[in-house]
Amino acid sequence: MNEGIVRVLVLAGHGINCEEETAAAYRLAGAAPEIVHLSALLDGRSTLAAYRILHLPGGFSFGDDLGAGKALANRIRYRRLPSGKTLFDGLVAFVEGGCYVLGICNGFQTLVQMGLIPNTRGRYEQEVTLAPNDSGRFEDRWCRCAASPKTSTPFLRGMDVSALPVRHGEGKLLIRDERVRRAILAGSHNCLTYCDEDGNPAADYPANPNGSTLACAGLCDTTGRVLGMMPHPEAYLSAYNHPAWPHHRRARGGLVEAGEGLKVFLNAVTAARGGSAEGEAGSRSKEEMEWPGTEAAEEEAAWRR
């Protein structure tokens, strides 16, 4: 196996339904993703230790029957592996060992239920939740999202305001108490916000599609290596994914083929390789972002043989 290849575990199964486009995003970013069913992790056929990035995709895990992400979070946190430990034990070691975790939509909901984010005191206790949208309905729309310039997470480096789609019924961030709220603000955990046309945090619908506290669209942990976000960057990999793509493509210089969501995955792969956040992916402007080549996919295929 080529040591330069970043292996990514994309979780699947039990109602998760965005694994294929997520894997495509990592391939375009130069990584080697592998779609792995949750059962393979729980019965020991696969292990987190073989990967540098864990991705929890969007979907409706376990039908959201106990609340969005709750059943999946409980399965990860409490189900015993053949070793006697839990998958959560391995997940904590994975993060503390310098690896990366990205949860999108239902994956974000799962991360907050497990206490992995914002984790302001390092106790892995639940400090926030994602509640039903203020509109009382499932929201499927495009939003403007602003990355905080103060954030420590490499996933968002070099990003400013981006157009990203949301697709959720439970995305309203609620914070447990005032101490957690202050810690989130002081630590710049609120790394991605819904914003208005001027780039200011949006309080009102539909710019803020769910009524989220602090206009929060994404949270990271204290290390920056764990990020959860409600918008779907994997749904905007090509400029042509946007419903107003002619206008957006012209506004971005007219030659850009990549969608704005691809930058999240380019940043993730660069960070996992140990590269500078201001380096390969972080320094690439929107105008410079082109479709990456197929070298990673070819090397992954060779490794599998």
Distance CA 69, CA 110 (A): 4
Whether residue 234 is contained in a domain is answered as yes
Any catalytic annotation for residue 220?
A: no
Residue type, 51: Y
Residue type, 138: F
Closest of 4, 201, 18 to residue 105, by C-alpha? 18
Model-wide pTM > 0.85: yes
Domain count of the fold of the chain = 1
Q: What is the pLDDT of residue 64?
A: 60
> Quick check: helix, strand or coil at residue 80?
strand
What is the distance between the terminal CA atoms of the chain, rounded to a whole angstrom? 10
Distances in Å between the Cα of 70 and the Cα atoms of 36, 40, 63, 74, 246 are 20, 20, 10, 6, 40
> Quick check: helix, strand or coil at residue 215?
helix
Question: With contact defined as beta carbons under 8 Å apart, do 183 and 120 qualify?
Answer: yes
Q: What is the pLDDT of residue 251?
A: 80
Q: Band the pLDDT of 249: cuts 50, 70, 90.
A: confident
Sheet containing 226-229: order of strands:
32-37, 7-12, 53-56, 100-104, 226-229, 216-220, 192-194, 139-147, 161-168
Closest of 44, 136, 36 to residue 83, by C-alpha? 44
Question: With contact defined as beta carbons under 8 Å apart, do 250 and 150 qualify?
Answer: no
Question: Which is more confidently placed, 292 or 242?
Answer: 242
pLDDT of 288 higher than 70 = no
Question: With contact defined as beta carbons under 8 Å apart, do 245 and 142 qualify?
Answer: no
pLDDT tens, position by position, 65-95: 656 678 899 999 999 998 899 999 999 999 9
| Residue 304 φ then ψ, to 5° | -65, -30
- What rounded mean pLDDT belongs to the chain? 88
Whether residue 287 is contained in a domain is answered as yes
DSSP 242: S
Whether residue 206 is contained in a domain is answered as yes
| Residue 296 φ then ψ, to 5° | -65, -40
> Quick check: helix, strand or coil at residue 178?
helix
Distance CA 159, CA 286 (A): 9
Which residue shows structure tokens 């990999």? 237
Q: What is the pLDDT of residue 212?
A: 98
Q: What is the pLDDT of residue 305?
A: 31
pLDDT of 287 higher than 80 = no
pLDDT of 124 higher than 70 = yes
Q: What is the pLDDT of residue 187?
A: 95
Q: What is the pLDDT of residue 108?
A: 97
Tokens of 74: 């409980």
pLDDT tens, position by position, 195-247: 999 999 999 999 999 999 999 999 999 999 999 999 999 999 999 999 998 88
Distance CA 96, CA 94 (A): 6
Write out the residue range of the structural domain in which residue 166 sits: 7-304
pLDDT of 280 higher than 60 = no
Any catalytic annotation for residue 99?
A: no
Closest of 99, 97, 75 to residue 88, by C-alpha? 75
Tokens of 4: 């330069």
Q: What is the mean pLDDT of residues 288-303?
A: 42
Whether residue 31 is contained in a domain is answered as yes
Any catalytic annotation for residue 105?
A: yes
Question: Which is more confidently placed, 304 or 81?
Answer: 81
Distance CA 27, CA 290 (A): 14
Which secondary structure element, helix H or strand E, spans residue 26, and what is its range? helix 19-28
Which secondary structure element, helix H or strand E, spans residue 180, and what is its range? helix 178-186
Share of the chain above pLDDT 90, in %: 75
Q: What is the pLDDT of residue 286?
A: 39
Q: Annotated catalytic residue: which of 232, 248, 260, 300?
A: 232
Whether residue 2 is contained in a domain is answered as no
Q: What is the mean pLDDT of residues 151-166?
A: 95
Whether residue 1 is contained in a domain is answered as no
Q: Annotated catalytic residue: which of 21, 234, 260, 300?
A: 234
Q: Annotated catalytic residue: which of 105, 145, 195, 216?
A: 105
pLDDT tens, position by position, 192-203: 999 999 999 999
Q: What is the mean pLDDT of residues 255-265?
A: 91
pLDDT tens, position by position, 19-63: 999 999 999 999 999 999 999 999 989 999 999 999 999 987 766
pLDDT of 268 higher than 80 = yes
Whether residue 169 is contained in a domain is answered as yes
CATH of the domain at 157: 3.40.50.880
